Structure 1
Amino acid sequence: MVFTKLFDSERRVIEAAERLATTLGSDPNHTVAAAAMDTAGRIHEAVNVYHFTGGPCAELVVLGAAAAAGAGPLVTIAAAGDQGRGLIPPCGRCRQALLDLHPDVTVAVPTDDGPALRPIRNLLPDTYFHPDADARRIVRFNKRYYEDIAAGRKTSTVRHDDPIALGSAIFLFEDDAVHRTLNGTVTGIERHRLDRLTTEQARLDGFTSLDEFKKGLQDHYPGLPSDAEVDLVTFTIEASDAVR
């Protein structure tokens, strides 16, 4: 999945990496800059440390810098090269580390049409998963759903090709100017064919009819076939985050 239309927050991450890259001089030990945003909207920056023993890439250094700042799970990451090289994709080692430590991060990559954001899992398909990584998960929502989720009016979502894990997660409302998040728990995941969903399931997701529900999904996932498999995800939020 390629996100060709970027959120303002995603553009800020890319711009931060590119801006830092322009400050790198002729030192051959520091040639790539990286920036990463956490769920609070903070941007962390770092540069690579080249060394013949295998010094870390900028993406790995920025993971450490973010952890030192108590960032928690990261939302978006980008890297840029010095001497005007612009946005660059992560190497294989960085992809594996990102997938294990921040499995829901999106990564900025260059394309013929400009920067695009891709889920890290799409950059490393059929990969090994480090079983002890114990990463905090993120579930992304459109920012317009914040009030309904906080008030308990919306307790489910339907996703396509968007792996979500059972258990606790940070609910992130994308491109929200005040970076609001909720702490929640994914309680159930059921796979259905799109053409076999029911009106009751549509209403659980806040739609008034099945046709409206299917149209909303196909607008969100352009080209989604009528017989596609989708996941019906149910969730709760922590009582302390609920709006009464």
Structure 2
Amino acid sequence: MVPTKLFDSERRVIEAAERLAATLGSDPNHTVAAAAMDTAGRIHRAVNVYHFTGGPCAELVVLGAAAAAGAGPLVTIAAAGDGGRGLIPPCGRCRQALLDLHPDVLVAVPTDEGPALRPVRKLLPDTYFFPDADARRIVRFNKRYYEDVASGRKTSTVRHDDPIAPGPALFLFEDDEAHRTLHGTVTGVERHRLDRLTAAQARLDDPASLDEFKQGLRGHYPGLPSDAEVDVVTFTVTAPGTVR
């Protein structure tokens, strides 16, 4: 049972992996299923290839299947085991490959409270980064901001513990049924302490709204301390459309 705290699109990925896993069991060479969603909302599916020489895990096979379909960057990935084992977390090799090739993917993992989504970087802290991976980057937004971002009315966002690097990126609007995306460029990232953040630094037109803005950040990031460091990210939009 997938908790309601997940987006519908994230539930679909987990359910796709579990449904495929439920069909396995008669062949010991294929024991794990994986599913991954791309930015267009397509779900790609694959199974592992068990072999004593080190056959690939289902997560790696689904990366290849998605690439063969021209998927571009992946948004969410999940794996499930046969025999009713349910959702399973990726192994270390898969975590490293995901981090290098799809650094902004969210990975489904089992918890005591049910399935949860984790940024892949959280599953592999203090890791080595493959410098030649040349991965396409994703910046996520709430879907209610699409028109403001697309029109240029919104050109900045404030994030906590969500590393975003300057350069080209695909702007993804989470759980948008139309799977609308925008091509853009992150033009700058400035780090400030929340309790010292000014309206000008936060790119607010009305200085009087700063307290309300900070309260909204604390609502988005529960438990955010007043001395937390936040990133003010500025960006521009270059063109609409999904990456292929």
| 1:231 is the counterpart of 2:231 | yes
- Matches of residues 1-244 of structure 1 in structure 2 within 5 Å? 5-204=5-204, 209-238=209-238, 240-241=239-240
1:60-83 CA-partner distances (Å, limit 9, x unpaired): 000000000000000000000000
Alpha-carbon distance in 1 for matches of 2:48, 2:91: 12
Q: Percent identity?
A: 87
In the TM superposition, residue 205 of structure 1 has moved relative to its aligned partner by 8.5
Letter in 2 for 1:100: D
Alpha-carbon distance in 2 for matches of 1:190, 1:6: 30
SS at the partner of 1:234? strand
In the TM superposition, residue 26 of structure 1 has moved relative to its aligned partner by 1.7
Consecutive unaligned residues of structure 2, counting only runs of 5 or more, are none
Q: TM-score, normalised by structure 1?
A: 0.95
Contact 1:158 1:205 in 2 (8 A): no
Q: TM-score, normalised by structure 2?
A: 0.95
In the TM superposition, residue 208 of structure 1 has moved relative to its aligned partner by 6.3
Contact 2:32 2:79 in 1 (8 A): yes
In the TM superposition, residue 200 of structure 1 has moved relative to its aligned partner by 2.7
SS at the partner of 2:226? coil
Alpha-carbon distance in 1 for matches of 2:104, 2:206: 25
Q: 1:159 to 1:205 in 2, by over 3 A?
A: farther
Contact 1:158 1:233 in 2 (8 A): yes
Q: 1:205 to 1:24 in 2, by over 3 A?
A: farther
SS at the partner of 1:26? coil
In the TM superposition, residue 198 of structure 1 has moved relative to its aligned partner by 1.2
In the TM superposition, residue 197 of structure 1 has moved relative to its aligned partner by 1.1
Alpha-carbon distance in 1 for matches of 2:221, 2:207: 17
* Runs of 4+ residues deviating >3 angstroms: 201-208
Q: 1:53 to 1:227 in 2, by over 3 A?
A: same
Q: 1:178 to 1:228 in 2, by over 3 A?
A: same
1:144-168 CA-partner distances (Å, limit 9, x unpaired): 0000000100000000000111100
Q: 1:207 to 1:149 in 2, by over 3 A?
A: farther
Contact 2:108 2:118 in 1 (8 A): yes
Alignment length, in residue pairs?
Answer: 239
Alpha-carbon distance in 1 for matches of 2:214, 2:206: 12
Alpha-carbon distance in 2 for matches of 1:101, 1:208: 43
Letter in 1 for 2:164: I
SS at the partner of 2:121? helix
Letter in 2 for 1:224: L
SS at the partner of 1:14? helix
